[in-house]
């Protein structure tokens, strides 16, 4: 085997635990990045296929930018464009099916969770697409309650030609007779149920509306087709776009946000891994000064030495990355398994197994291996400066990392100032950069601060221990070697910074969210559609349902939500129509800006909207701004009056307007979510059974006890946060062990010196105390800096969430700091126990001969 | 007379500056012929190790020159000196001779592998030399599993295997008891007589120095005396010890 590899493997193998722990950091970083990026796009893709209507084989598909329905008069404008041969309008709507709707068996999840109801004009549609009927007939003009479905859908439902297909619709459960069967659906995406346009308009409660225009063109030539497309768009105006309907694009923003948070986390983990490796290599080189000197004496060139060190890094990088990739995949699959039930419940989608993209594998490998090798570079370079003489002359253990404390200290101060300045930018990117600068600043400043701080702590320890000079000795040892002290202390710092940061961010996030949740879902009962937050893909109910609910004895308030999709400043936005009166009564929104009373009042009669933080951040709008909103009837101007959010929509770009205007501007009267309060003395059982009876015709809705729902969600939150803490431990433990390691090495390196101390009369207890004091001083320094860094990074994390628009209250992580102090002292003492015993037991004669 | 292997001219080394300056070597002129076995003796701190380091290209002189096999080491850059160490010199030191993670065979083969020789070939030669120094049965032992004397033999095998022009040894027996010391000294003698290698050895042990062809006495950084031995098998140890006493006073 190659000399580099032989040596690298032998050295790594000689320190198995240390190797494993340093590699762990890389494993972890790669795991998060690879796992998340493998599984997130899969999720997004599934989501998109689900949301996108199956695009037909037509030349041109035109929809409203908002995704809303519009008036068929547009058709004439399109037909009039030169080059358009035929154009037909249809109305398409995704119908989410309740759980176990198809097979009625709770044991197995349904293969089909949603269908697309498509209303067409039969004659025109057949001109555009050659529908291949395998059984029965196609739809005909004047058909009522007739449907054409695929063979695969028929099989799923266990029905055939002439049988009845029952679907949950806006007007309750509706029966359709199957008159024709199409071939099996092969392409991915939802199954389509074809009905006549009039039928679709009736079932979706959208009389006289269409939402898609399909057209064929007279040319196959690319340039000509583009020209025709441009002319079509010109003719119908910029409220329309070429392309199929996309429901739920507002939630995609949220998923992408999550993805960048995870990427940031993974990257931070990798940077930390790099830092741990950097520290380990510095110790490795201090340890092996003699070996390296010997190699140099025997004729190894500087380049050879550099490669020897880098090869070790490379091996750790490669192994760590490989493990990270495998674990990342498993982790992704595991998470997927964990969230699948949640996805099915809240979003009504099933995510397929993740697909691995070669580009992602490559990126992960480059990041994992790259960062490891990069971290090894500086230590490797300093190793090349070791002279052959170091092997030959018994020297007194000077660590060769000389630092110009002056320059690096002031550079650190500058970085620190910049980092703190970034806190005020409120921008995600700057905050992230600030965190890196902050850590860098502390590392730069640490060596200069080691002296004063160790003197301070030494005097504290003197008070603690009797005045036998051991604390001073320890302090002296540290300030003589600020380089080594910094290495050890900064490892502790990183570990504890993570603990404090996580505590800060997590407690802030969880408390804020639970607060918002209790507020916005705190009604007695909730009636929920199959998918929450992706409102556009739900089949709601005509106002009749709400009226029926209000008539149930004991009910005091029924507040409903109506939904319409739109665009503001080219950003997909979900518009929620609320009843200002009942929203005020139930106090469902958490306001961050604006006066609730005034806003709710203004909404009743004016085009006034409340936006949530995510939208405010994404579109850069503020209370007081006037915004243009795309509606099926053209553009409308709304005044933004407040920023507020509720729990379900906190993560998606959302605006709230009154139901009066969602009807006027968007033509929506369909209720998709109900929040109900009952009188305190109401007979709950009677109320619940009355609700159930009413909802029988609307199987798409689920009746939920509000209090229970909040509790359930809070529990879910707790589980997620527990997971986060485990992740934090994952990050912290390797660096804590690295600290124990560096400390132990410090003692071993000074075996001879300790032997001398014993020879000149230090008793065992004094030696033990000296080592213990040293460890405690080091961990105290590390803990102090770690807490500082953690507080900054935690605050930054909260600011980052705020910058993305989530409502956040910063909560000072008091318990996190206590935990950090406890961990710091515990590990500091732990790190000292073994070396201190060893040092105390040292045979004086042996120690003096040691070299 | 053939060209000398080593030749130094007014070799001077000063450590430190100003008042703290130490003149470790002061204008040393030393010439070593091919095949010679030269011992350097002198009281502690007289500059023996410094001389060896300068000749071995491990350190640079303050002034003066070192010619090695026709090349002026002081004119070469680090990579070039390193290459010369690899190809033309073999080192035996008192401590830390071996790389702890490599076994005896690998340690002995190291300079040749560093020089780019095929590993199989390097191992074959290393093994031959380990057998010659009597370590054929310890090939796969790590340094920590060898006695001090055995470790020194591995270092000797390593110094010889790459067939260097000059072998430099600094207190090769300093860490050993007297019996092991005499064995190593005998081995060095054999290297010189049987295998005709050039050796420059630093020692303060008269019994060991008495195995050399010639002894150079150093004091306060200067060569103060020189003796050519007749017997070269340790028998003249007492005479050497007397000389040392003289110089020490
Ligand atoms: N790196 C150094 N810095 C300063 N002075 C040094 C250094 N190395 C050696 N010296 C000084 O140079 C002088 C010669 O040192 P050298 O190591 O050559 O002595 P030596 O003859 O080998 O002694 P010993 O027999 O004890 O090994 C000594 O006075 C020593 O203190
Ligand atoms: Mg010496």
| Chain segment A782-841, per-residue pLDDT in tens | 888 888 888 887 887 777 777 666 667 777 878 778 888 888 888 777 777 766 776 677
Answer yes or no: do A95 and A194 share one domain: yes
Pairing of strands A571-578, A626-631: unpaired
A356 DSSP assignment: P
A351 DSSP assignment: P
pLDDT higher than 90, residue A680: no
Answer yes or no: do A41 and A176 share one domain: no
**Residue A198 domain-assigned (yes or no):** yes
User: Across the interface, do B113 and A3 touch by the CB < 8 Å criterion?
Assistant: yes
Tell me what the pLDDT averaged over chain B comes to.
88
Answer yes or no: do A231 and A303 share one domain: no
Between CA B213 and CA B231 the distance in angstroms is 8
Contact B167, B200 (CB under 8 A): yes
Between CA B8 and CA B218 the distance in angstroms is 14
**Residue A407 domain-assigned (yes or no):** no
pLDDT higher than 70, residue A342: no
User: Across the interface, do A297 and B56 touch by the CB < 8 Å criterion?
Assistant: yes
Answer yes or no: do A171 and A262 share one domain: no
User: Across the interface, do A304 and B114 touch by the CB < 8 Å criterion?
Assistant: yes
Whether B15 is in the pocket of ligand 1, judged by its Cβ within 6 Å, is yes
Percentage of chain B surpassing pLDDT 90?
A: 39
Answer yes or no: do A750 and A824 share one domain: yes
- Listed by number, the residues of chain B in 61-100 with a beta carbon closer than 8 Å to a beta carbon of chain A are 78-79, 82-83, 85-87, 89, 91, 93, 95-100
Q: What is the pLDDT of residues B56-112, one digit of tens each?
A: 988 899 999 999 988 999 999 888 888 898 889 998 888 767 888 889 999 999 888
DSSP string, A93-118: EEEEPPTTTTT--TTS--S--EEEEE
Q: What pLDDT, on a 0 to 100 scale, did the predictor assign at position A14?
A: 78
Between CA B29 and CA B47 the distance in angstroms is 14
pLDDT higher than 90, residue A748: no
Nearest to A299 among B53, B99, B114 (CB): B114
Between CA A768 and CA A843 the distance in angstroms is 14
Q: Mean of the pLDDT values across residues B27-50?
A: 92
Pick from A311-325, A480-494, A711-725: least confident: A480-494
Using CA atoms, how far residue B61 sits from B47, B51, B199, B239, in Å, is 12, 9, 21, 33
**A351: region left, alpha or beta (phi > 0 left; psi from -120 to 50 alpha):** beta
Domain range summary for chain B, segments of one domain joined by + = 6-247
**Residue A592 domain-assigned (yes or no):** yes
Domain boundary among A245, A266, A284: A245
SS (H, E, C) A549-611: HHCCCCEEEEEEEEEEEEEECCEEEEEEEECHHHHHHHCCCEEEECCHHHHHHHHHHCCEEEE
Percentage of chain B surpassing pLDDT 70?
A: 98
Where are the alpha helices (H) located in A347-404, listed in sequence order? 358-384, 389-392
Between CA A775 and CA B102 the distance in angstroms is 33
Answer yes or no: do A696 and A711 share one domain: no
> Chain A contact for B102, CB < 8 A?
yes
Between CA A819 and CA A798 the distance in angstroms is 20
**Residue A367 domain-assigned (yes or no):** yes
Nearest to A118 by CA among A58, A198, A59: A198
> Which phi and psi angles does A171 have, rounded to 5°?
-105, 25
Answer yes or no: do A224 and A297 share one domain: no
Answer yes or no: do A674 and A538 share one domain: yes
Nearest to A391 among B83, B96, B114 (CB): B96
Place of tokens 């027996």: B173
Confidence of residue B195 (pLDDT cuts 50, 70, 90): confident
Between A8 and A749, the more confident residue is A8
**Residue A408 domain-assigned (yes or no):** no
Q: What pLDDT, on a 0 to 100 scale, did the predictor assign at position A531?
A: 67
Q: What pLDDT, on a 0 to 100 scale, did the predictor assign at position A399?
A: 39
- Listed by number, the residues of chain A in 761-780 with a beta carbon closer than 8 Å to a beta carbon of chain B are none
User: Across the interface, do B82 and A392 touch by the CB < 8 Å criterion?
Assistant: no
Q: What pLDDT, on a 0 to 100 scale, did the predictor assign at position A195?
A: 93
Enumerate the residues of chain B whose CB falls inside 8 A of the CB of residue A390: none
Structural domain count of chain A: 4
Pick from A11-15, A318-322, A724-728: least confident: A724-728
Between A709 and A203, the more confident residue is A203
Q: Which fold has domain B6-247?
A: Rossmann fold (3.40.50)
Q: What does the CA dihedral A422, A428, A430, A432 come to, rounded to 10 degrees? A: 100
Where are the alpha helices (H) located in B115-177, listed in sequence order? 119-132, 148-161
Whose alpha carbon is nearest atom 7 of ligand 1? B15
Nearest to A298 among B78, B114, B170 (CB): B114
**Residue A419 domain-assigned (yes or no):** yes
Q: What is the pLDDT of residues A455-497, one digit of tens each?
A: 676 666 666 665 556 666 666 666 666 666 666 677 677 777 7
Minimum distance, in Å, between the CA of residue A473 and any CA atom of chain B: 27
Contact A6, A258 (CB under 8 A): no
Confidence of residue B37 (pLDDT cuts 50, 70, 90): very high
pLDDT higher than 90, residue B215: yes
Enumerate the residues of chain A whose CB falls inside 8 A of the CB of residue B111: 298-299
Between CA A144 and CA A199 the distance in angstroms is 7
Q: What is the pLDDT of residues A582-619, one digit of tens each?
A: 888 877 788 888 888 888 888 888 899 999 887 888 78
Answer yes or no: do A712 and A805 share one domain: yes
Q: What is the pLDDT of residues A380-437, one digit of tens each?
A: 888 888 888 876 665 444 433 444 456 777 888 888 888 878 777 766 667 777 777 8
Q: What residue of A is the nearest CA neighbor of B164?
A: A298
Pocket test for ligand 1, best of A388, A391, A393, A398 (most atoms within 8 A of CB): A393
Confidence of residue A178 (pLDDT cuts 50, 70, 90): very high
Domain boundary among A217, A245, A273: A245
Whether B24 is in the pocket of ligand 1, judged by its Cβ within 6 Å, is yes
> Chain A contact for B171, CB < 8 A?
no
Q: What pLDDT, on a 0 to 100 scale, did the predictor assign at position A364?
A: 87
User: Across the interface, do B82 and A296 touch by the CB < 8 Å criterion?
Assistant: yes
Between CA A346 and CA A702 the distance in angstroms is 11
Minimum distance, in Å, between the CA of residue B101 and any CA atom of chain A: 6
Which regions of chain B does DSSP assign to beta strands (E)?
A: 6-15, 22-32, 37-41, 63-68, 71-72, 89-92, 166-170, 198-202, 214-219, 222-228
Tokens coding B91: 């080192």
Q: What residue of B is the nearest CA neighbor of A849?
A: B175
Between CA B43 and CA A280 the distance in angstroms is 42
Pick from A658-667, A709-718, B101-110: least confident: A709-718
Nearest to A851 among B58, B95, B114 (CB): B95
**Residue A86 domain-assigned (yes or no):** yes
Most confident of A76-90, A96-110, A219-233, A407-421: A76-90
> Chain B contact for A290, CB < 8 A?
yes
Edge to edge, what strands does the sheet with B6-15 contain? B22-32, B6-15, B63-68, B71-72
pLDDT higher than 80, residue A201: yes
CA atoms within 13 A on the CB side of A98: 22
**Residue A402 domain-assigned (yes or no):** no
Handedness of CA A631, A636, A637, A642 (dihedral sign): negative
Enumerate the residues of chain B whose CB falls inside 8 A of the CB of residue A849: none
Contact A614, A805 (CB under 8 A): yes
Q: What angle do CA A50, A56, A61 make, to 5 degrees?
A: 95
Nearest to A34 by CA among A257, A263, A261: A263
Whether B95 is in the pocket of ligand 1, judged by its Cβ within 6 Å, is no
Confidence of residue B55 (pLDDT cuts 50, 70, 90): very high
Ligand 1 centroid vs B24 CA: distance in angstroms?
6
Nearest to A254 by CA among A799, A801, A627: A801
A528 strand-pairing partners: A702
Minimum distance, in Å, between the CA of residue A290 and any CA atom of chain B: 7
Q: What angle do CA A97, A100, A106 make, to 5 degrees?
A: 160
Q: Mean of the pLDDT values across residues A44-55?
A: 53
Answer yes or no: do A536 and A678 share one domain: yes
Nearest to A11 among B78, B89, B101 (CB): B101
Tokens coding B44: 């502690």
User: Across the interface, do A302 and B79 touch by the CB < 8 Å criterion?
Assistant: yes
pLDDT higher than 70, residue B157: yes
**Domain assignment of residue A632, given as a range:** 530-700
Ligand 2 centroid vs B177 CA: distance in angstroms?
18
Contact A499, A798 (CB under 8 A): no
Between CA A364 and CA A357 the distance in angstroms is 11
Whether B47 is in the pocket of ligand 1, judged by its Cβ within 6 Å, is yes
Nearest to A777 by CA among A501, A547, A460, A325: A460
Most confident of A639-643, A731-735, A843-847: A639-643
Between CA A227 and CA A82 the distance in angstroms is 10
Whether B59 is in the pocket of ligand 1, judged by its Cβ within 6 Å, is no
Q: What is the pLDDT of residues A110-146, one digit of tens each?
A: 777 778 888 999 888 887 777 888 888 999 888 889 9
Between CA A211 and CA A75 the distance in angstroms is 11
Tokens coding B185: 């000294």
Answer yes or no: do A570 and A442 share one domain: no
Whether B21 is in the pocket of ligand 1, judged by its Cβ within 6 Å, is no
Answer yes or no: do A233 and A259 share one domain: no
User: Across the interface, do B93 and A392 touch by the CB < 8 Å criterion?
Assistant: yes
Q: Mean of the pLDDT values across residues A318-331?
A: 88
Domain boundary among A245, A273, A293: A245
pLDDT higher than 80, residue A746: no
Edge to edge, what strands does the sheet with B89-92 contain? B89-92, B166-170, B198-202, B37-41, B214-219, B222-228
Q: What pLDDT, on a 0 to 100 scale, did the predictor assign at position A345?
A: 59
Between CA A802 and CA A818 the distance in angstroms is 26
> Which phi and psi angles does A802 have, rounded to 5°?
-65, -40
Between A557 and B141, the more confident residue is B141
Using CA atoms, how far residue A374 sits from A19, A310, A317, in Å, is 17, 9, 10
Tell me what the pLDDT averaged over chain A comes to.
77
């Amino acid at each position: 085997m190659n000399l580099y590899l032989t040596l690298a493997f032998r050295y790594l193998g000689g320190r198995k635990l240390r190797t494993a722990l340093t590699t762990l950091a890389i494993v972890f970083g790669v795991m998060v990045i690879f796992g998340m990026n493998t599984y997130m796009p899969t999720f997004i893709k599934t989501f998109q296929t689900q949301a996108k209507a199956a695009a037909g084989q037509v030349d041109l598909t035109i929809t409203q930018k908002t995704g809303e329905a519009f008036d068929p008069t547009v058709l004439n404008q399109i037909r009039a464009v030169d080059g358009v041969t035929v154009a037909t309008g249809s109305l398409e709507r995704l119908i989410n099916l309740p759980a176990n709707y198809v097979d009625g068996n709770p044991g197995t999840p349904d293969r089909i969770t949603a269908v697309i109801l498509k209303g067409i004009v039969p004659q025109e549609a057949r001109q555009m697409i050659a529908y291949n009927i395998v059984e029965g007939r196609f739809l005909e003009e004047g058909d009522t309650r007739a449907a054409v479905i695929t063979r695969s859908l028929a099989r799923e439902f266990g029905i055939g030609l002439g049988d009845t297909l029952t679907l949950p619709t806006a007007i309750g459960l509706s029966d359709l007779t199957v008159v024709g069967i199409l071939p099996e659906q092969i392409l991915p995406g939802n199954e389509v149920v074809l009905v006549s346009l009039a039928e679709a308009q009736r079932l979706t409660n959208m009389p006289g509306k269409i939402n898609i225009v399909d057209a064929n063109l007279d040319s196959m030539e690319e340039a000509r087709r583009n020209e025709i497309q441009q002319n079509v768009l010109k003719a119908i105006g910029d409220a329309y776009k070429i392309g199929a309907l996309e429901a739920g694009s507002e939630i995609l923003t949220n998923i992408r946000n999550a993805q960048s948070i995870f990427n940031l986390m993974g990257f931070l983990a990798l940077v930390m891994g790099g830092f741990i490796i950097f520290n380990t290599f510095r110790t490795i080189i201090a340890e092996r000064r003699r070996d390296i000197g010997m190699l140099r004496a025997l004729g190894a060139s500087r380049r050879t030495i550099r490669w020897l060190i880098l090869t070790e890094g490379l091996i750790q990088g490669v192994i760590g990355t490989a493990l990270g990739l495998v674990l990342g995949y498993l982790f992704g699959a595991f998470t997927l398994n964990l969230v699948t039930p949640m996805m099915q419940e809240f979003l009504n989608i099933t995510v397929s197994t993740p697909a691995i993209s070669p580009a992602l594998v490559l990126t992960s490998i480059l990041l994992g291996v790259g960062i490891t090798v990069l971290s090894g570079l500086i230590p490797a370079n300093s190793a090349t400066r070791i002279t052959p003489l170091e092997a030959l002359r018994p020297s007194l253990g000077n660590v060769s990392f000389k630092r110009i404390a002056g320059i690096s200290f002031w550079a650190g101060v500058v970085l620190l100032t910049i980092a703190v300045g970034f806190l005020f930018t409120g921008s995600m990117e700057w905050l992230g950069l600030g965190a890196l600068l902050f850590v860098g600043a502390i590392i730069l400043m640490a060596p200069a601060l080691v002296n004063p701080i160790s003197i301070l702590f030494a005097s504290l320890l003197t008070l603690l221990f009797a005045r036998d000079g051991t604390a001073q000795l320890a302090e002296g040892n540290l300030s003589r070697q600020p380089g080594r002290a910094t290495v050890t202390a900064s490892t502790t710092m990183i570990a504890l910074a993570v603990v404090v940061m996580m505590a800060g961010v997590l407690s802030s996030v969880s408390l804020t969210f639970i607060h918002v949740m209790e507020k916005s879902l705190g009604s007695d009962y909730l009636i929920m559609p199959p998918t929450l937050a992706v409102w556009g893909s739900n089949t709601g109910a005509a106002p009749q349902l709400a009226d029926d609910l209000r008539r149930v004895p004991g009910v005091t308030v029924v507040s409903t939500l109506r939904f319409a999709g739109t665009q503001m400043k080219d950003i997909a936005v979900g518009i929620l129509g609320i009843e200002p009166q009942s929203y005020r009564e139930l106090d469902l929104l958490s306001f961050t800006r604006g006066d609730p009373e005034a806003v709710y009042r203004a909404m009743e009669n004016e085009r006034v909207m409340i936006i949530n933080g995510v939208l405010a951040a994404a579109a850069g709008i503020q209370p007081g701004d006037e915004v243009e909103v795309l509606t099926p009837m053209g553009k409308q101007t709304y005044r933004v009056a407040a920023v507020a959010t509720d729990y379900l929509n906190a993560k998606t770009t959302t605006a709230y307007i009154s139901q009066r205007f969602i009807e006027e501007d968007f033509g929506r009267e369909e209720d998709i979510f109900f929040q109900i309060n009952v009188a305190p003395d109401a007979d709950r059982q009677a109320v619940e059974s009355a609700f159930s009876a009413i909802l029988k015709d609307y199987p798409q809705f689920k009746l939920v006890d509000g209090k229970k729902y909040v509790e359930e969600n809070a529990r879910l939150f707790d589980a997620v946060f527990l997971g986060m803490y485990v992740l934090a431990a994952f990050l912290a433990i390797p660096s804590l062990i690295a600290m124990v390691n560096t400390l132990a090495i410090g003692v071993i390196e000074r075996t001879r010196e300790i032997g001398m101390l014993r020879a000149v009369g230090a008793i065992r207890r004094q030696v033990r105390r000296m080592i213990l004091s040293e460890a405690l001083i080091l961990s105290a320094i590390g803990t102090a800096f770690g807490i500082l860094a953690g507080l900054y990074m935690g605050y930054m994390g909260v600011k980052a969430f705020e910058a993305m628009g989530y409502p956040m209250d910063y909560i000072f992580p008091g318990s996190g700091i206590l935990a950090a102090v406890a961990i710091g002292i515990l590990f500091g003492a732990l790190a000292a126990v073994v070396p201190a015993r060893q040092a105390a037991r040292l045979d004086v004669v042996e120690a003096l001969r040691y070299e | 007379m053939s060209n000398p292997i080593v030749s130094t001219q007014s070799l001077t080394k000063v450590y430190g500056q100003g008042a703290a300056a130490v003149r470790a070597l002061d204008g040393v002129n030393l010439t070593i012929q091919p095949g010679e076995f030269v011992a350097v003796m002198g009281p502690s701190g007289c500059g023996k190790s410094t001389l060896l380091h300068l000749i071995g290209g491990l350190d640079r002189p303050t002034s003066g020159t070192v010619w090695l096999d026709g090349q002026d080491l002081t004119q070469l850059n680090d990579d070039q000196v390193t290459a010369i160490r690899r190809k033309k010199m073999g080192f035996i030191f008192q401590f830390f001779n071996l790389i702890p993670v490599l076994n005896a065979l690998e340690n002995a083969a190291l300079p040749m592998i560093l020089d780019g020789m095929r590993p199989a070939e390097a191992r074959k030669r290393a093994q031959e030399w380990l057998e010659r120094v009597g370590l054929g049965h310890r090939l796969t032992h790590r340094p920590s599993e060898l006695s001090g004397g055995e470790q020194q033999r591995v270092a000797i095998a390593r110094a010889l295997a790459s067939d260097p022009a000059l072998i430099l040894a600094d207190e090769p027996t300093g860490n050993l008891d007297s019996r092991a010391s005499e064995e190593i000294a005998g081995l060095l003698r054999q290297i010189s007589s049987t295998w005709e290698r050039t050796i420059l050895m630093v020692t303060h042990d008269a019994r060991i120095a008495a195995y050399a062809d010639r002894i150079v006495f150093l004091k306060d950084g200067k060569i103060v005396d020189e003796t050519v031995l007749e017997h070269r098998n340790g028998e003249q140890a007492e005479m050497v010890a007397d000389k040392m006493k003289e110089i020490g006073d």
